Amino acid sequence: QVQLVESGGGLVQPGGSLKLSCSASGSISSFAAMGWYRQAPGKQRELVARITKGGSTYYTDSVKGRFTISIDNFKNTVYLQMNSLKPEDTAVYYCQTFPPSPWGQGTQVTVSS
């Protein structure tokens, strides 16, 4: 089983940047892909970005061109570089494996003036 620990969230101004990290305790080869979800209060958790073992990426339309997902296989760590942040990006961000692992605690991202 893989344990997921997210970090890197915080308070940022609109237009600012953050880089999220997610450390996976298991072998990076144990899953086909990893991704980032986010959940705002009262909203459903949504997939934001995903990267496969082979390096193929997916982004939801609302973040395309602003967010970049990457992975460090040696460190078993997945990242989400978030640029040009908007208030609507405010949410708790969670990483996930595919096939899925238990959810981590997530990391809060707040975009506000």
pLDDT digit string, tens, across residues 56-99: 999 999 999 999 999 987 788 999 999 999 999 999 999 999 98
Average pLDDT over residues 17-30: 84
Give the residue with greater pLDDT, 27 vs 25.
25
pLDDT value at residue 29: 60
Asked whether 6 and 78 are in contact (CB, 8 A), the reply is no
Side-chain-facing half-sphere of 5: CA atoms under 13 Å: 7
